[in-house]
Every structure is written in structure tokens, then in C-alpha cells.
Amino acid sequence: MGHFYFSAPGGRPFSASGCKRIILKFKEEQSGSKPGSAQLFSVIANLIRFLAVALISNNTTALRIAFSPIYRYELPPKHRFPMDKYTLLPEQLLYEGTITAANFFSPRSLPEADILKTHTAAYWHKLKTNTLSAKEARAIGFPMRPALIARGRVIAQGTLDCARIALNGGGVALNIAGGTHHSFADRGEGFCVFNDIAIAANVLLDTGEVGKVVVIDLDVHQGNGTAHIFADEPRVFTLSFHGARNYPNRKPPSDLDVGFPDGTTDAHYLQTLYDTLPDLLDRERPDLVFYLSGVDILASDKLGRLAVSLAGCRERDRFVFQTCFDRNLPVAVSMGGGYAERLATIIEAHANTYRMADKVYG
Ligand SMILES: [Zn+2]
């Protein structure tokens, strides 16, 4: 394997078995009353250093991963969104050796013209001038600052870049954020400002780089924004697996909605996936798949209502990748939600998506 940026004491790279120890380390850090600024600085400095290494490296590796330190947006203490996952996940993947620094690339900011292919001029104007009403901002759920908009533009460009990498021979590429499927053309909600997958799909359809895409949205919350944006777009097939009784209350129809009852466990969830996905892809024959790999289907998720195990969630990811791989379908992955009680569980579940991508495509 390639070099390891992070090494275990004694200079040996962390092995897969070491990963549990790192996760525990995250847990301990989380349990402190508030993270020290020195610790935060160290995390950010490390991330900037490995991005620099990635930029100058000629090492070609199977997995290409979009990431920028801007992905982590500063939230007030006690905010329920686990923002630290955006820096802890890449650190975990590096520590355990699933990836090296060479796997990362840093997206630029999405051009305004590409935002306007999906979002209305009025909504974009309000975002740009920080003039959303208090009610509109409350629906999004994050404090509105220019940095949030700058972050969203980089994340959306990351999803577009991943799609292009996957299309142009990469097979798969993954964004360490995104999956903001509650964003509509004219408004945001549920921690979603821009709809990254809709933006990427619209740009690629517009340029003719793709003629047909399928969105596989397996986040536990229904993809209301994406479904609404593409309601009259036959070139985009939207599939949403979600908790039937979960947010959002109003669920604009996707091309295929599968609503699961509360407490759904691995066997029912996975069998439904096995029964649905291969036929759907054979029928739709897309040029590209967007996979929204939210891990809020876990039993331990605070917002999820389903009861899928960590192993079940990992098998879900493996099956999606294998099904696409078998059909030679490029896949761009956006991360989506995850709100388990323990941050370590969230990181472990998201890391499994990367481990399975590496297993299938590596
Ligand atoms: Zn979700």
C-alpha cells in the first residue's frame, strides 16, 4: 500500500484492528465540555497538511474523495448536528489505512451559473445577501453566515467533481459531505442549503455529459427536495428508501418511494433493497448513479426510527456498490445524515461506506 500520513506510536501504520482505538479516542475527546482551540487547530492543521500532500502527489489510487476543511462549519455549543464528523471521518480513514492522503482532492467553489441551473434566482439572492427571513433560516437549522454559503458551494462542486471522476473512468468517487436532499429550488430546510445532487445532475444533463441518471437515496429521511426538483424531469429517476413516519411530513413523490415502518430491522430492509435495486438499474439503464449514503437508518440513531444494525448498514453499502460495479455504472457518493447517540458510531458507519467502496472498486 502507499504511505501512511498518520502512524501509530513506533512508526507502524494503524491496522484495521487499530481503528476501534481511534474511535474510542474520538469519544473521549467528545465527552469533554468543549473542544480546546489548540486541539481544533491541530486537527485543521493536519487536514491542511494532508491536502497539500494530496495536491503534489502523483500517486493514483482507486478511491477519489472530495474534502476541504471548509466542510466543518462552526456551530454553537450543544447544537444537535454532529459537525465534527466532517473532520473526524477523513482522519479515521487515514488512521486505519483505508486511504492515504493521495486519495483526497479539494473542490473549488461552485460557479453562480451552476447554482442557478437548480435554484431560483430569488433564493440565491437571499443566500448571497444573507437576507433569508428568520423563518426561512430556522427551517434550515444552521446559523446563517457567509461561511455557510461558501461551504455549501464547495460541497456542491465536490459532488459534481465526484460525478465527473466516476464518469471518466474512476468508477466511484465520494464526497465527505453533501446529500443535502431537503433543499428545494427555492428554499432550504433540514440542515440543507443547496441540493448538491440536483445541482450536479442538472449541470451534467445540461452539458450532455449524461443523458440519464438515477438517484439512490438511502438516507432515512425522504428526499423531498430532490423529488420535487425532478418531478417533471424524465432524465432523472429518484429512488428514496426512508422511514414512513419520519420527517418530512409532506413527501413529494419520488419516482419510487419505499417507506419503512418504525423499527425495521436488517432482514426486511436488506431484502427490499435486494428486490428493488438490480431490476431498477436494469430497467432505467442510467449513465450515472448518485448514491446518498446516510447512516441514520441505524437503530442507535436519535432521529431515525428504524433499527438497522451497523453490519446491516455496511451490507447495504456493499450491495449498492457491487450492484453498480457489476453493471459498469459510475457512482458518485454524497454522505447524508447520521445522528447516532455516540459520535464514534456515526464515524464507524460512514467509514464503512468508504471501506465497502474500497473493497468493491479497490
Ligand atoms: Zn437523514
Q: What is the pLDDT of residues 140-159, one digit of tens each?
A: 999 999 999 999 999 999 99
CA of 223 to the centre of ligand 1 (A): 9
Average pLDDT over residues 310-328: 98
Short-list 84, 63, 321, 291, CA closest to 181: 291
Between the CA of 272 and the centroid of ligand 1 the distance, in Å, is 19
The residue segments making up the domain with residue 309 are: 108-361
Distance in angstroms (rounded) separating the CA atoms of residues 350 and 337 = 9
What integer is the mean pLDDT of 108-121?
Answer: 98
Q: How far is the CA of 345 from the centre of ligand 1 (A)?
A: 15
CA of 273 to the centre of ligand 1 (A): 18
CA of 90 to the centre of ligand 1 (A): 20
Model confidence over 184-209: pLDDT tens digits? 999 999 999 999 999 999 999 999 99
Secondary structure of residue 333 in the 3-state scheme:
strand
Contact call for residues 237 and 223 (beta carbons, < 8 A): no
Least confident of 27-36, 94-103, 317-326: 27-36
Distance 219 CA to ligand 1 centre (A): 5
| Å from CA of 255 to ligand 1 middle | 19
pLDDT of residue 47: 61
Q: Residue 336 Cα, ligand 1 centroid: separation in angstroms?
A: 6
Domain CATH code at residue 258:
3.40.800.20
Give the side-chain half-sphere CA count within 13 A for 117: 18
What are the cell numbers at 26?
A: 474520538
Report CA(257)–ligand 1 centroid distance (Å). 15
Q: Is residue 5 part of a domain?
A: no
Q: What is the arithmetic mean of pLDDT over 59-75?
A: 87
Q: How many CB atoms lie within 10 A of CB 146?
A: 11
Has residue 7 got a pLDDT over 50?
A: no
Residue 344 lies in a domain: yes
**Is there a domain that residue 194 lies in?**
yes
- The reply to whether 16 falls in a domain is no
Going from the Cα of 274 to the center of ligand 1, the distance in angstroms, rounded, reads 21
What is the distance in A from the centroid of ligand 1 to the CA of 56?
36
Q: How far is the CA of 137 from the centre of ligand 1 (A)?
A: 19
Taking the centre of ligand 1 as the mean of its atom positions, its distance from the CA of residue 337, in whole angstroms, is: 4
Rounded to the nearest angstrom, the distance between the alpha carbon of 207 and the centre of ligand 1 is: 30
Give the contacts of 235 (CB within 8 A, at least 6 positions apart).
205, 211, 212, 213
Name residue 26's amino acid: F
CA of 270 to the centre of ligand 1 (A): 18
Q: Give the chain's domain count.
A: 1
Cα(297) to ligand 1 centroid in Å equals 8
Could you tell me which residue, 228 or 18, shows the higher pLDDT?
228
CA distances 170 to 54, 86, 101, 321, Å, are 17, 23, 17, 13
pLDDT band (50, 70, 90) for residue 62: confident
Least confident of 25-39, 131-145, 179-193, 225-239: 25-39
Residue 218 lies in a domain: yes
| Residue 2 lies inside a defined structural domain of this protein | no
How many angstroms is it from 107 CA to the middle of ligand 1? 24
Residue 221 belongs to some domain of the structure: yes
Q: With respect to residue 51, please indicate whether it lies within any of the assigned structural domains.
A: no
* pLDDT for 27: 41
Distance from the alpha carbon of residue 97 to the mean position of ligand 1, in angstroms: 28
Question: Residue 179 C-alpha to ligand 1 middle, in angstroms?
Answer: 9
Rounded to whole angstroms, the Cα distance separating 90 from 71 reads 11
Q: How far is the CA of 243 from the centre of ligand 1 (A)?
A: 10
